[in-house]
Amino acid sequence: MMKSFATKGCVHGMTVQKQRGDMQTRILAYIEQEIKTRGYAPSVREIGEAVGLKSTSTVHGHLIRLEKKGLLHRDAMKPRAMGLSFSSLSPAENVTLPKYSCKERASWSASEVKYALAICENPVLKLAMLLALGCSMRIGEILGLTWDCVDLSEESLATGNASLFINKELKRCEKSSVEALEKRGRSKVFFTFPEWKRTNCKTMLTLKTPKTASSVRTVFLPKTVALALIETKNRQDEEKMLLGSDYKDFNLVLAQSGGRPYEPRQIDQMLSTFIQENELRSVVFHSLRHSSTSIKLQISRGNIKAVQGDTGHAQARMVTEVYAHTNNEERLLLAQKVDENFFQTPTPGAFAPTSEMQKVLQILAEKPELVKLLAAM
């Protein structure tokens, strides 16, 4: 009998506690709503009417409990001066986010780029660098580029309209993730390369759609890049004729001897070795895309949309805030231009002495007695 009574009392206590919790949640929600809409907290009487409590003392009791729980803060001298210690609708609403500082990626200046291209003797690395710099391509896009997406026709070369169409990238992916992405329609795999050495591998080398829809784009080729592509095509055709059926033709622009694809890590290693052997400033391959963006912005005088079209970024701010870099060469050139075009340029309407007059003024400065003689005349 005692056990039954104790159990009923416990259940009753839990029920009362739940009802109080529900009421306090409604009170918090109402206070938050009023602060947002009116800019200040409601009165005790208004709170009671809103939540269905006739007694103001009952409302006061709930407010005191909420204050003890740290959910509400009040000024004892000002009854209506109350505020929420957190948002009842979103706990993260009043959180102050830390400032995000983006670490700038090291990248080569225009002169460093030109020097690197001039001394590079590895044809594969040089073409990869030219495509990254001239066409602002990602490494996966470069290695996934196929000849059917390159327009090097005589007409396009003659008119300066040679171009390439970027619609895929080469990437090593987890087999399970590729299958999941395809099912969701978020990615399309054009081709899966066979594994030459690995067995029971959990990853596979694929030609797939690029990372974003905006990455699918047409890029016009600078003449230097177009000529390098023609040279590569001729070299590949000679190798195909020499190897015959032993050449595994995947139609890739950048292919190893025998036609096999390169992987990003191999190009990264080529660049790293090239930098060490020639004592160049250390950068990674993706830094060339940053250099390309900075150089194009400078040459185009800040035509962000044109540069964005080449880089394939969905948002223009990525071009200016992340990929564009300033260097000391550009800043020195800017200082020289400011001096030439501002400080050394006469103010409109101001007296600007000719070269003959400057010579006369110099003579007068060197011989003050002439100034006195002229003043006496």
DSSP string, 333-352: HHHHHHIIIIITSPPTTS--
Mean pLDDT of 182-187: 64
Indicate whether 371 pLDDT > 80.
Answer: no
Determine the pLDDT at residue 334: 56
Interval 130-154: pLDDT, tens: 999 999 999 999 999 999 999 999 9
Q: Are 336 and 329 in contact (CB under 8 A)?
A: no
267 vs 295, higher pLDDT: 267
Q: How far apart are CA 354 and CA 276, in angstroms?
A: 55
Output the average pLDDT for the chain: 79
Whether residue 200 is predicted with pLDDT greater than 70 in this model: the reply is yes
- Band (46; pLDDT cuts 50, 70, 90): confident
Does the pLDDT of residue 89 top 70, yes or no?
Answer: no
pTM of the model: 0.61
pLDDT recorded at residue 10: 46
pLDDT tens for each residue of 55-80: 888 888 888 888 888 888 776 555 55
- Is pLDDT above 60 for 4? no
- What is residue 70's predicted lDDT score, i.e. its pLDDT? 80
Question: Would the pLDDT of 96 be above 70?
Answer: no
Distance of CA 35 to the CA centre of its chain: 38
More confident residue, 6 or 39: 39
Which residue, chain included where needed, has tokens 């990238």?
A: 169
Domain ranges in the chain are 2-84, 110-164+220-328, 169-209
Confidence class for position 83, pLDDT limits 50, 70, 90: low
Q: Which residue do the tokens 């800040």 mark?
A: 302
CATH topology of domain 110-164+220-328: hpI Integrase; Chain A (1.10.443)
Greater model confidence, 355 or 304? 304
41 or 227, greater pLDDT: 227
Residues 6 or more apart from 266 whose CB is under 8 A from it?
none
User: Is a pLDDT exceeding 60 seen at residue 159?
Assistant: yes
Q: Strand, coil or helix: what is 123?
A: helix
pLDDT at 6 over 50: no
Which pLDDT does position 326 carry in this prediction? 56
pLDDT on residue 349: 55
Q: Which pLDDT score, from 0 to 100, does residue 338 have?
A: 56
Fold of 2-84: Arc Repressor Mutant, subunit A (1.10.10)
Cα separation, 132 vs 289, in Å, equals 6
What value does the mean pLDDT take over residues 273-294? 93
Q: What is the mean pLDDT of residues 15-32?
A: 75
